[in-house]
Amino acid sequence: MLNVLDGGLQTTVQDAGRFGWYHIGMPPAGAMDQLSFRVGNRLVGNADGAAALEITFAGPVVETTEEAVVAVTGAGLDVRVNGTRVPRWVAHRLRPGDQVACGQAERGVRAYLCVAGGIAIPPLLGSRSTYLLARFGGVEGRRLQAGDRLPVGPVPPQAEALIGRMIPSRFLPALPRDVELRIIMGLCSYRLTADSAGEFLAATWEVSTEADRVGYRLRGPALRFRDREPPFGAGSDASNVVDVGYPVGSVQVPGGQEAILLMRDAVTGGGYATIGTVIHCDLDRLAQAPPGSKVTFRSVDVDEAMRARREYRARIAAIAESLSLFDRVGLFGP
């Protein structure tokens, strides 16, 4: 068990996501920064999608009842075992009664506390992820709080060999405060005037304080619609459409007054015009962008998006290979 002594600001159980239920209005949920989450699991010998704790801004304090192996990845925050500071992106041994305390993020937003064996709460619809908006999955569909007890799955074989595991520094994410996001324009972008579509791509947007697992509200220029041109007719609100599906990463522009980039807990459809979709692998960077960060968009086509996906997967594979090399020769050890 992991005993939760302090739940932190917003700590939830998340895995790779809940897939196959979009048609009934169930979004995937799951880890917001998939690379940090997956690498954390690899460090402690888990499969990529094992359930872990997602920490937002300020972390929890947990105590283990058995020997365990843990790693914290993602945002730059202070991690301490029994009061002694330990490095992130490294696998650490815990003994019964040891406490792990995760402090406030100094860089980035979300960190992942991964434990060998994974968090073994019962899955719902094939996933252990917490969907906060519907209070579904995870621990009663909510953030963790003091007194929660989290079961941990069987520790992988040869767990002793995991201690000290780390990855080369070249693979660590930079966690930039300002990010460029690649976007495939489309869906309802035809409702914008040509000039306004260009302004959307040329503008520098700012992440507002309303940025969470559902979506990021971005402040920027007002956008103009073709609301006085056929086929809409004078006076119609071209920012409203007949309901469409909302892909994760899609950008809504309700009324043209702001942009809302939908994240992993967003509703799956509705009637706001969506003008494009940010490619999946760039959402990791946005998930680590705090309020006040600057965001720009660069239009790409499907071919470039697919190349980016291959490069993203190749990076994860290279990290996995680096861990295999570490296991064989301890090349990256202290």
What's the rounded mean pLDDT across residues 123-146?
96
- What are the structure tokens assigned to 3, written together? 């005993």
CATH fold for the domain made of 179-300: Cyclophilin (2.40.100)
Output the CA torsion sign for 302, 303, 308, 314: positive
Residue 174 has pLDDT above 50, yes or no: yes
Taking phi over 0 as left and psi of -120 to 50 as alpha, with beta for the rest, 288 belongs to alpha
What's the rounded mean pLDDT across residues 114-122?
97
Residue 295 has pLDDT above 80, yes or no: yes
Output the CA torsion sign for 129, 161, 98, 90: negative
pLDDT in tens, 244-259: 778 999 998 887 678 9
Residue 231 has pLDDT above 70, yes or no: no
pLDDT of residue 237: 61
pLDDT of residue 334: 39
Q: What is residue 77's three-state secondary structure?
A: strand
Q: At what angle do helices 302-329 and 34-43 cross, to 10 degrees?
A: 20
pLDDT of residue 133: 93
Return all residues near 249 (Cβ < 8 A) that are at least 6 apart. Answer: 261, 262, 263, 277, 278, 279, 280, 282, 283
CA gap 166, 154 in Å, rounded:
22
pLDDT in tens, 208-227: 999 999 999 999 988 888 76
Contact 111, 72 (CB under 8 A): yes
The domain limits of the chain are: 2-167, 179-300
228 or 300, which is more confident? 300
pLDDT of residue 329: 53
C-alpha pair distances (Å), 9 with each of 2, 12, 23, 148: 18, 10, 32, 15
Residue 148 has pLDDT above 70, yes or no: yes
Return all residues near 122 (Cβ < 8 A) that are at least 6 apart. Answer: 128
Burial bucket for residue 157 (CB in 10 Å: 0-12, 13-18, 19+):
exposed
- What are the structure tokens assigned to 80, written together? 């301490």
DSSP 117: T
